[in-house]
């Protein structure tokens, strides 16, 4: 979720919602009962454990207290700290002063004497804050945090929202895939024009009688989906694709074990060959030095002419010119993008007129339950930080995710 939206929505709701509202995860629904929020060992520990298990959150190999520099924190800066939320967070951080800041300039001043910063990661805030030892971002993508060397040089622990939005984003991926497969973009255009016409001309999403060889729609069952950047978002997408009867192949940065339901797992070097067999290609990559421009003219050229390409990771992993050309020339069947480069798409940019393209404005993590899960992680990491424990979802600043 973009920080700005996150902030606006959190301000609108009461902080108490965090513990009252139903927390819906991928596999389990758990209700956080009212009034069960009063003790220091969190009474919602079972919800926290379920979140960790359901989303597959990873904890650091060593506890913070193993470091000779470790000391109990005295002051933590928190973005979007409503009064209710402060009470709720204070339960896991007794004796720690929790300070609110919502703008970069307020944060810069408040961070000067803070031990941790939650919700800001920019150099402007961290450069003048020598005692900061932990930063929690409210996003999964950390490419903007890592533009400065502050994390690598000072050994600040950076934790992010990796895997948190997986279930929500996987729904968005499937919405884009189904919109294409069922011709919804074309039927919506026809509806606006008051036309009752069957059969989408798949090539242009215009409406007319089907000519020979044109496909009005296609079935997902039995088709192959390739997930590139198989992590939290990718694995949740795979679960849903499996339910549609699809064959799943994937690529990630380390091979390890083959996840259940995945037919084969490759490394980045396998991309040019794997794309050849895919009907749907989903990009869930973080933006790093290695992934920048990974989907270029050669990769789009290797795809099936009917392939549908989805990107919910980062726009910079795609060479936009190459994608537009593939769509214009019929090199691929269509695309659904939630993230683009440039972002936002400027007025008059050729992407707006590119055929067979569905654009959503970086909203694939938005949902009614997403922010509750995020605050549960923030609270659990605060508890671990105060106790000198093993932090969750630590970013490798050198790898970039
Ligand atoms: N559109 C949106 O609103 C959102 C976008 N995102 C983006 O999605 C990305 C992924 O999120 P999660 O799945 O939660 O993160 P994650 O950390 O769970 O997964 C990232 C995966 O990318 C893989 N990877 C890294 N470099 C690679 C490479 N060179 N080739 C192939 N695979 C590579 C890793 O193996 C890892 O499994 C985020 O980094 C962020 O940029 C995340 C949340 C919301
Ligand atoms: O969490 C992220 O990385 C996002 O892009 C949220 O919008």
Mutate to test the pocket of ligand 1, among 52, 233, 239, 281 (most ligand atoms within 8 A of CB): 233
CB-based contact 70:50 (threshold 8 Å): no
Distance CA 343, CA 332 (A): 23
Query: What's residue 335's pLDDT?
Result: 95
Instruction: Verify that 159 and 170 share a domain, yes or no.
Output: no
CB-based contact 138:132 (threshold 8 Å): no
Could you tell me the pLDDT band of residue 98, with boundaries at 50, 70 and 90?
A: very high
Q: Which of 2, 97, 343, 349 is catalytic?
A: 343
State yes or no: is 314 an active-site residue: yes
Instruction: Verify that 222 and 155 share a domain, yes or no.
Output: no
In a domain, 333, yes or no: yes
Query: What's residue 193's pLDDT?
Result: 82
| Residue % of the chain over a pLDDT of 90 | 75
CB-based contact 233:169 (threshold 8 Å): yes
Cβ–ligand 2 contact at 365 (below 6 Å) = yes
User: Taking all residues of the chain, what is their mean pLDDT, rounded to a whole number?
Assistant: 87
CA of 229 to the centre of ligand 1 (A): 6
143: exposed, middle or buried (C-beta count within 10 Å: 0-12, 13-18, 19+)?
Answer: middle
Mutate to test the pocket of ligand 2, among 165, 172, 378 (most ligand atoms within 8 A of CB): 165
Q: Write out the residue range of the structural domain in which residue 320 sits.
A: 166-182+217-359
Section 233-256 average pLDDT: 96
Query: What's residue 195's pLDDT?
Result: 82
Instruction: Verify that 156 and 15 share a domain, yes or no.
Output: yes
CA of 3 to the centre of ligand 2 (A): 8
Query: What's residue 364's pLDDT?
Result: 98
- Residue 253 clears pLDDT 50, i.e. is over it: yes
State yes or no: is 362 an active-site residue: yes
In a domain, 328, yes or no: yes
CA of 287 to the centre of ligand 1 (A): 8
Least confident among 61-70, 203-212, 300-309, 385-394: 203-212
Q: Which of 362, 374, 383, 384 is catalytic?
A: 362
- The string of DSSP letters for 220-277 reads -TT-EEEEES-SHHHHHHHHHHHHTT-EEEEE-S---SPPTTEEEEE-GGGHHHHGGG
Reduce the secondary structure of 103-171 to three states and give it as a string: CHHHHHHHHCCCCEEECCCCHHHHCCCCCCCEEECCCCCCCCHHHCCHHHHHCCEEECCCCCCHHHHHH
Query: What's residue 207's pLDDT?
Result: 40
Section 64-80 average pLDDT: 95
Instruction: Verify that 318 and 334 share a domain, yes or no.
Output: yes
- Provide the whole-model pTM: 0.90
Distance CA 56, CA 205 (A): 39
- Residue 185 clears pLDDT 90, i.e. is over it: no
Query: What's residue 215's pLDDT?
Result: 56
Distance CA 47, CA 332 (A): 43
Q: Which of 314, 356, 383, 384 is catalytic?
A: 314
- Residue 333 clears pLDDT 60, i.e. is over it: yes
- Partners of 91 in beta bridges: none
Instruction: Verify that 355 and 372 share a domain, yes or no.
Output: no
Ligand 1, pocket residues at CB < 6 Å: 140-141, 162-163, 165-166, 169, 228-234, 251-254, 268, 284-288, 290-291, 312-314, 338-339, 362, 364-365, 401
State yes or no: is 180 an active-site residue: no
- Residue 11 clears pLDDT 60, i.e. is over it: no
Could you tell me the pLDDT band of residue 300, with boundaries at 50, 70 and 90?
A: very high
The span from the first CA to the last CA of the chain, in angstroms, equals 16
- Residue 238 clears pLDDT 90, i.e. is over it: yes
Backbone angles phi, psi at 396, to 5 degrees: -90, 105
In a domain, 204, yes or no: no
Query: What's residue 35's pLDDT?
Result: 32
Q: What is the CATH number of the domain that holds 298?
A: 3.40.50.720
In a domain, 178, yes or no: yes
Cβ–ligand 2 contact at 362 (below 6 Å) = yes
- Residue 37 clears pLDDT 60, i.e. is over it: no
Query: What's residue 216's pLDDT?
Result: 65
Helix, strand, coil shares of the chain, percent, nearest 5, are: 35, 15, 50
Condensed to tens digits (0 to 9), the pLDDT of residues 21-35 reads 334 444 333 333 323
In sequence order, the 6+-apart residues with CB closer than 8 A to the CB of 357 are: 327, 334, 335, 336, 337, 351
Residue predicted with more confidence, 163 or 199: 163
Instruction: Verify that 155 and 47 share a domain, yes or no.
Output: yes
Instruction: Verify that 175 and 91 share a domain, yes or no.
Output: no
Instruction: Verify that 123 and 170 share a domain, yes or no.
Output: no
In a domain, 203, yes or no: no
E strand or H helix that includes residue 387: helix 370-387
Distance CA 116, CA 396 (A): 18
Q: Is the peptide bond before 344 cis (omega within 30 degrees of 0)?
A: yes
CB atoms inside a 10 Å sphere around CB 265: 20
Nearest ligand to the CA of 230 is 1
E strand or H helix that includes residue 209: none
In a domain, 234, yes or no: yes
Mutate to test the pocket of ligand 1, among 250, 397, 401 (most ligand atoms within 8 A of CB): 401
CA of 292 to the centre of ligand 2 (A): 17
Condensed to tens digits (0 to 9), the pLDDT of residues 192-211 reads 888 887 776 544 554 444 44
In a domain, 329, yes or no: yes
ipTM: 0.99
- Residue 89 clears pLDDT 60, i.e. is over it: yes
Could you tell me the pLDDT band of residue 44, with boundaries at 50, 70 and 90?
A: confident
Query: What's residue 230's pLDDT?
Result: 98
Number of domains, the chain: 2
Query: What's residue 378's pLDDT?
Result: 98
- Residue 8 clears pLDDT 70, i.e. is over it: no
Q: Is the peptide bond before 194 cis (omega within 30 degrees of 0)?
A: no
Could you tell me the pLDDT band of residue 39, with boundaries at 50, 70 and 90?
A: very low
Instruction: Verify that 323 and 347 share a domain, yes or no.
Output: yes
- Partners of 318 in beta bridges: 295
Query: What's residue 53's pLDDT?
Result: 97
CB-based contact 295:319 (threshold 8 Å): yes
In a domain, 98, yes or no: yes
- Residue 275 clears pLDDT 60, i.e. is over it: yes
Measured CA distances, 121 to 4, 137, 318 (Å): 14, 6, 25
């Amino acid at each position: 979720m973009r920080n700005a939206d996150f902030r606006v929505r959190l301000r609108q709701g009461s902080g108490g919602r965090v513990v009252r509202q139903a927390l819906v995860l991928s596999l389990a629904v758990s209700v956080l009962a009212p009034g069960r929020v009063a003790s220091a060992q969190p009474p919602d520990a079972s919800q926290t454990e379920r979140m960790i298990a359901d989303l597959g959150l990873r904890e650091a190999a060593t506890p913070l207290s193993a470091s000779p520099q470790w000391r109990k924190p005295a002051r933590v800066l928190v973005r979007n700290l409503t009064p209710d939320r402060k009470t709720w967070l204070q339960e896991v951080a007794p004796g720690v002063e929790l300070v609110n800041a919502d703008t970069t300039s307020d944060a810069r001043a408040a961070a000067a004497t803070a031990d941790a910063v939650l919700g800001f990661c920019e150099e402007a805030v961290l450069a003048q804050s020598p005692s900061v030892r932990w930063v929690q971002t409210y996003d999964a993508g950390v490419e903007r945090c890592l533009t400065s060397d502050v994390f690598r040089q000072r050994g600040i622990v950076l934790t992010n929202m990796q895997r948190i939005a997986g279930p929500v984003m996987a729904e968005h991926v499937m919405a884009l895939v189904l919109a294409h497969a069922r011709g919804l973009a074309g039927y919506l255009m026809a509806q606006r024009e008051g036309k009752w016409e069957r059969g989408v001309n798949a090539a242009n999403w215009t409406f007319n009688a089907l000519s020979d060889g044109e496909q009005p729609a296609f079935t997902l069952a039995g088709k192959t989906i390739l997930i590139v950047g198989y992590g939290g978002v990718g694995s949740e997408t795979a679960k849903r694709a499996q339910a549609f009867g699809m064959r799943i192949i994937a690529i990630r940065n380390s091979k390890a074990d083959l996840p259940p339901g995945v037919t084969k797992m490759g490394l980045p070097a396998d991309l040019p060959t794997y794309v050849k067999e895919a009907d749907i290609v989903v990009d869930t990559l973080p933006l790093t030095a290695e992934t920048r421009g990974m989907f270029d003219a050669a990769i789009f050229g290797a795809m099936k002419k009917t392939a549908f390409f989805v990107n919910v990771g980062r726009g910079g992993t795609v060479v936009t010119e190459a994608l537009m050309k593939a769509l214009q020339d019929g090199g691929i069947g269509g695309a659904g993008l939630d993230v683009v480069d440039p972002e936002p798409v400027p007025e008059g940019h050729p992407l707006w007129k590119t055929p067979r393209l569905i654009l959503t404005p970086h909203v694939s993590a938005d949902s009614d339950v997403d922010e509750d899960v995020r605050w549960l992680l923030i609270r659990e990491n605060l508890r671990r930080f105060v106790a000198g424990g093993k932090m969750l979802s630590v970013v490798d600043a050198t790898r970039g995710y």
